[in-house]
Amino acid sequence: MNDLSNRAISIKADLLTKRYGDFIAADALSFEVYKGEIFGFLGANGAGKTTAMRMLCGLSLPSSGSATIAGFDIYRETEKIKKNIGYMSQKFSLYEDLTVLENIRFYGGIYGLSDGAIKEKSEAIIARLGLQSEADKLVSALPLGWKQKLAFSVAILHQPHIVFLDEPTGGVDPVTRRQFWDLIYEAAEEGVTVFVTTHYMDEAEYCNRISIMVDGRIEALDTPHNLKQQFQADSMDDVFYKLARQAKRVDL
């Protein structure tokens, strides 16, 4: 784990910037994420996390700078990138009026999985999440925590190189959050790169490395251990507080 630099690079961002008129939502972001790494992306509300993530996923075009995702250029090869990433948005992303199985089959289908693979995958997901008796229920009938776990499983259904998670555990109880992170670890062990934004500092401790954004810029980037040393703090909470205090943008 400590010798990450020997691994292949999954995400490489170089001076990535997004402007909306005079407002600079993401300012010259440069970083690298390695294969199989769990990379945490922290920041106060409005610091620019979601903007950065949307650019990396190909949902939003950068104003300047460059980046490659799984070796593909984010300007020219967006469609190739899309085959190689999974994404779970802040808003709930499964269809509430489809059942659990129907959602899995639908996303399997549009990622081009074969019928056999879809069948195998759906059985595996349902068994892993213990949803046997819920498989034919509408997703709207599931509790939030289950929905989130299901959404994550669907996001990595097609075995992407990288999965982007935008505040995946918002509003979820601590036990379910723990279970959710177990799923993340399993995925990482299988070689999936995990790029995750969060507000929970205990979750930050689970990451291999974290970056902290303030006012659209990356102010710190290292392992949780090194960051605590660098800022002479006892916990990630303190690190975050020390950095976030400098913010000029106030979340309205």
Partner 1 sequence: MRTIKFLLQKEFRQIFRNKSILAIIAVMPVVQLAIMPLAADYEVKNINLSVVDHDHSTYSQELVSKITASGYFRLMAYSSSFKEAMQGIESDQADIVLEIPAGFEKNLIREDEQKLFIAVNAINGTKANLGGAYVNQIIRAYNQDIRLELVQPTRMNPIPVIEITATNWFNPSMNYKVFMVPGILAILVTMVGGFLSALNIVREKEVGTIEQINVTPIKKYHFILGKLIPFWILGNVVFTVGMLVSYLLYGIVPLGNMGVLYSFIAVYLLAVLGLGLLVSTFCETQQQAMLIMFFLMMIFILMGGLFTPIESMPEWAKVVSSFNPVTYLISVMRLVILKGSGFRDILSHLGIIASFAVVLNTWAILNYRKTT
Output 33 or 163, the one with its CB closest to partner 1.
163
Establish if 95 lies at the interface with partner 1 (CB under 8 A): yes
The answer to whether 228 and 235 have CB atoms below 8 angstroms apart is yes
Contact between 119 and partner 1 by CB under 8 A: the answer reads no
- Token pair in block for residue 93: 């992303």
Residue 144 interacts with partner 1 (CB under 8 A)?
no
User: CA dist 79 to 11, 82, 200, Å?
Assistant: 16, 5, 32
| Least Å from the CB of residue 201 to partner 1 | 26
Nearest to 93 by CA among 147, 41, 24: 147
Binding partner 1 (rule: CB under 8 A), the pick from 43, 48, 58, 65 is 58
Which residue's CB is nearer to partner 1, number 31 or number 106?
106
Q: Is 78 in the site for partner 1 (CB under 8 A)?
A: yes
Q: Does 233 bind partner 1 (CB under 8 A)?
A: no
Closest CA to 65 of 14, 137, 1, 134: 14
Phi, then psi, of 210 in degrees rounded to 5: -135, 150
| Residue in 12, 19, 35, 83 binding partner 1, rule: CB under 8 A | 83
CB nearer to partner 1: pick between 82 and 217: 82
Stretch in the footprint of partner 1 (CB under 8 A) among 29-37, 103-111, 188-196, 219-227: 103-111
CA–CA dist 76, 82 (Å, integer):
12
Distances from the Cα of 124 to the Cα of 28, 68, 130, 136, angstroms: 41, 32, 10, 15
Q: How many other C-beta atoms are found inside a 10 Å radius of the C-beta of residue 93?
A: 16
User: Of residues 19, 27, 71, 92, which one binds partner 1 by CB under 8 A?
Assistant: 92
CB of 183 to partner 1, least distance (A): 18
Look at the block and give the residue holding tokens 């982007």.
Answer: 164
Task: Please report, as ranges, the residues that interact with partner 1 according to CB under 8 A.
Answer: 54, 57-61, 78-79, 82-83, 85-87, 89-98, 102, 105-107, 109-112, 138, 164
